[in-house]
Amino acid sequence: MINLRIESIDKFGEKTIEEVKALKIEENNSIIYRYSNDLGKCMIRISDKMIDIVRTGQIESSQVLIEGETTDFIYKTPYFNNVFQIKTKKLEYKEKELTIYYSIYDNNIEVNKLKVRVRELSNVIIN
């Protein structure tokens, strides 16, 4: 297990910081982080030019982020279910740190813009 620090800030200035224990798996030129929090389970897969983020639990979502591309994004809660679009501006992974800049659109209207950083705080790897 490793420790991950997940930080985000949106266009409204709302910041979140979360530290979680995660399983890190390296396979097929990908890095996978699996962890749980109060909202459920999360998986982040970092591939060469793509990031997959899947959440299950109270909030369910599935995001595919590709730099310079727009992709559909499903977001489901007990009270809400919608498909949004994500325009990924920048993906960067180096030295055990992932940074993502993207905007979320609903029917071509930007509803939010985020910067997310995922950083390893420890480096024990389970293969």
Report how far residue 91's alpha carbon sits from residue 84's, in angstroms, rounded to the nearest whole number: 19
Report how far residue 125's alpha carbon sits from residue 25's, in angstroms, rounded to the nearest whole number: 7
What is the reported pTM? 0.88
| Mean pLDDT for the stretch of residues 72-78 | 92
pLDDT of the residue at 58: 87
Could you tell me the pLDDT band of residue 14, with boundaries at 50, 70 and 90?
A: very high
Q: Give per-residue pLDDT as tens, 95-110.
A: 889 999 999 999 999 9
What is the C-alpha R_g of the chain? 14
Report how far residue 81's alpha carbon sits from residue 61's, in angstroms, rounded to the nearest whole number: 10
Largest separation between any pair of C-alpha atoms in the chain? 43
Could you tell me the pLDDT band of residue 49, with boundaries at 50, 70 and 90?
A: confident
Could you tell me the pLDDT band of residue 120, with boundaries at 50, 70 and 90?
A: very high
Query: Is residue 11's pLDDT more than 70?
Result: yes
Could you tell me the pLDDT band of residue 123, with boundaries at 50, 70 and 90?
A: low
Do residues 73 and 83 lie in contact, with contact meaning Cβ atoms separated by under 8 Å?
Answer: yes
pLDDT of the residue at 126: 46
Query: Is residue 119's pLDDT more than 50?
Result: yes
Q: Give per-residue pLDDT as tens, 27-44.
A: 888 999 999 988 899 999
